[in-house]
Amino acid sequence: MNTYIALLRGINVGGNCALSMKELVAMLEGIGARKVRTYIQSGNAVFECAAKHSAGFSTQLAAEILKRRGFAPHVHILTLEALEAAVAGNPFPEAVVDPGSLHLGFLAFPPRKPDLDKLSSLRKESERFHLTPGVFYLHAPEGVGKSKLAAGSEKCLGVPMTDRNWRTVCKVLEMAGG
């Protein structure tokens, strides 16, 4: 069996796109996932599957949510190895002491022409970012809620992404056995 992580974007935020984790588990099991575990209500799930490739899972899960709930969130599926690599690749190790200030934006695909100049112009002096083909790392010590860089990053990258703070990433990795 292979271990995968599903990260759903924009569910259960501000009363919009409501999806219970119990229902998410049932949907994942319905498309072939086993041993499904979830973390908090923002759409983080760890599961096992015999499939070697996870590409179809995101499409199938989004379609199932659309059918049952009337909306189709962006669903990002990671392998355990990809999540481990994202954690190991953290360019801001000193920021983990404040896990709410460090965010990882998991990219749907590598950005073709990211506007790094625009990203830099949005950055507060206290903020730092680092871009890899699969992850946009953001350290925002004053909080992402007030960060123009956080708000504008997806547009500047030109790639859909779903963001998780360090605490959530580490908890999901722990659940996945990494």
Taking 70 as the threshold, does the pLDDT of residue 9 lie above it? yes
Q: Are residues 59 and 125 in the same domain?
A: no
Q: Are residues 39 and 105 in the same domain?
A: no
Domain closes at, from 30, 49, 82? 82
Q: Which residue has the tokens 């960060």?
A: 147
What pLDDT, on a 0 to 100 scale, did the predictor assign at position 104? 98
Q: Are residues 56 and 101 in the same domain?
A: no
What sign results for the dihedral spanned by CA atoms 29, 60, 84, 104?
A: negative
Q: Are residues 144 and 163 in the same domain?
A: yes
Q: Alpha-carbon Rg of the chain, whole angstroms?
A: 16
Q: Are residues 95 and 141 in the same domain?
A: yes
**DSSP for 49-95, written as a single string:** ES-S--HHHHHHHHHHHHHHHS----EEEEEHHHHHHHHHT-S-GGG
Which amino acid type is present at position 110? Answer: P
Taking 80 as the threshold, does the pLDDT of residue 17 lie above it? yes
Structural domain boundaries enclosing 167: 89-176
Domain closes at, from 20, 49, 82? 82
Q: Are residues 95 and 28 in the same domain?
A: no
Confidence of residue 178 (pLDDT cuts 50, 70, 90): low
Q: Are residues 53 and 107 in the same domain?
A: no
The number of folded domains in the chain is: 2
CATH number, domain at 50?
3.30.70.1280
pLDDT in tens, 152-167: 999 999 999 999 999 9
